[in-house]
Amino acid sequence: MSAEQESRPPAGGVGEMLRGIGRKLAQGEAGPLLVLLMVAVIWTFFTLQNPRFLSPGNLTNLMLQQAAVATISIGVVLVLLLGEIDLSVGAVSGLCASVMAVLMMNRHVSSVLAVLAALALGAVIGMFNGFMVTRFQIPSFVVTLAGSLSWVGLQLYVLGETGTVNISDKFVTGLTYTFFPPVVGWVIALLAIGLALATSLATRARRKAAGLQADSMRALIFRVAVIGAAFVALVYVVNQDRGLPLVVVIVFTLAFAFAYLTERTRFGRHIFAVGGNAEAARRAGIKINNVRVVVFMLCSMLAAAGGVLAASRLLAVNQSSGASDLLLMAIAGPVIAGTSLFGGRGTVWSALLGALVIGSIANGMNLLAFPSSAKFIVTGAVLIAAVTIESVTRMRRQGER
């Protein structure tokens, strides 16, 4: 086959796209599709058990409940792409939210400055984690596990004897409890669809200009139509309840921004290169230590942002903020949605898809009044299954080389 034939866009449009999906499924690489199928099964099961599960009110609550987890998971994805892990994100979210609440409610600092202070503290913690991992070659799970104990202790110190700080500031509470009117929701959906179309067209044009294989126009339109249908369904459902929540817009904006960073910038390519083969990346001139430090900083900043959103939803912070199953859900979600624990493979969107899976399981079992023990057992079983599939797929790919 000539180079011209290899660079020619695939024929067949949607048919070729569906055959490509089939090949990816056979190779274990169609993570998002498998996750969506998993969500469909989960939603069908819980709807049969309790018809309220798919009610607009419950689906809106599901999005509000998972906004903080999804935000933290975006940062976790960045670290996983490096082949590292951060076990301190839960503790960091709790500490940073506590600092914000104390500054705002006890010290009467401006809410905007208090939120910025929380994000800055997260960045400093992430820089410390990255420095310890790169400078002293300490495994990241050791650094972050030890750090999480310190951050929990510092959180208890910050909260003081009362242990709880109630939040009434309108700026912070408005992050979760602001709902757009139906017209605004539809406008935002149209803008999101237009952005998806523009991004897809730009990617197609860039690949063709570089002589690489690009999707046909029919396949591109089909993909954008699917994305558009998802946004239309989302807005339609939430408009039946209170309207599109501001926090959902915030989470999608963060996801798009970091997806763009990882997939369309030089720094993003460096992340994948370091995660795929750090030594090869170093020989290619990539400053791998700098990449690691920046990624850990971004991860902890997003953990802080998740802590702020969690405090906004609960209207308080306390000694258990950032604890319980938050760390489990933040890490399990991306892994279930296809991000590799071994580095170099995954997507930021897996954070949202994984949060949807984990949140649907938890929400459905809560509706059915399942005990907490069942929720942990089921979530753990799903995570083990996802990691097993990822490991088997990785070994299969290595065996084909």
pLDDT at 401 over 60: no
Taking all residues of the chain, what is their mean pLDDT, rounded to a whole number?
A: 89
End-to-end Cα distance, the chain: 21
5's CB contacts (< 8 A; 6+ apart) are: none
Give the tens place of pLDDT for each residue, 373-391: 887 888 788 778 777 776 7
3-state SS track over 267-321: HHHHHHHHHHCHHHHHHCCCCHHHHHHHHHHHHHHHHHHHHHHHHHHHCEEECCC
Residue 399 or 335, more confident: 335
Task: For the domain covering 50-177+267-395, report its CATH number.
Answer: 1.10.3470
Tell me which DSSP letter residue 179 carries. E
- Contact 309/71 with Cβ under 8 angstroms? yes
Average pLDDT over residues 190-212: 90
Give the tens place of pLDDT for each residue, 128-137: 999 999 999 9
Q: How far is the C-alpha of 104 from the C-alpha of 111, rounded, in Å?
A: 6
Give the tens place of pLDDT for each residue, 301-326: 999 999 999 999 999 999 999 987 89
Average pLDDT over residues 352-371: 91
pLDDT at 397 over 70: no
Per mean pLDDT, which range of 12-26, 101-115, 260-274, 311-325 is the poorest? 12-26
For residue 30, what pLDDT is reported?
Answer: 53
Per mean pLDDT, which range of 65-69, 327-331, 358-362, 384-388 is the poorest? 384-388
For residue 17, what pLDDT is reported?
Answer: 55
Q: How far is the C-alpha of 349 from the C-alpha of 339, rounded, in Å?
A: 10
Per mean pLDDT, which range of 186-190, 206-210, 244-248, 354-358 is the poorest? 206-210
Give the tens place of pLDDT for each residue, 84-140: 999 999 999 999 999 999 999 999 999 999 999 999 999 999 999 999 999 999 999
For residue 384, what pLDDT is reported?
Answer: 83
pLDDT at 23 over 60: no
Residue 181: exposure state from Cβ atoms within 10 A (0-12, 13-18, ≥19): exposed
For residue 8, what pLDDT is reported?
Answer: 41
- Domain ranges across the chain: 50-177+267-395
pLDDT class for 38, splitting at 50, 70, 90?
confident
pLDDT at 3 over 60: no
Per mean pLDDT, which range of 113-122, 222-231, 357-366, 374-383 is the poorest? 374-383
For residue 292, give the nearest of 271, 277, 272, 273 by alpha carbon. 271
Q: How far is the C-alpha of 107 from the C-alpha of 163, rounded, in Å?
A: 16
Q: Indicate the pTM of the whole model.
A: 0.90
Q: Is 165 helix (H, G, I), strand (E, B) or coil?
A: strand
For residue 219, what pLDDT is reported?
Answer: 83
pLDDT class for 21, splitting at 50, 70, 90?
low
Average pLDDT over residues 18-27: 54
Average pLDDT over residues 278-297: 96
Give the tens place of pLDDT for each residue, 158-178: 999 888 999 999 999 999 999
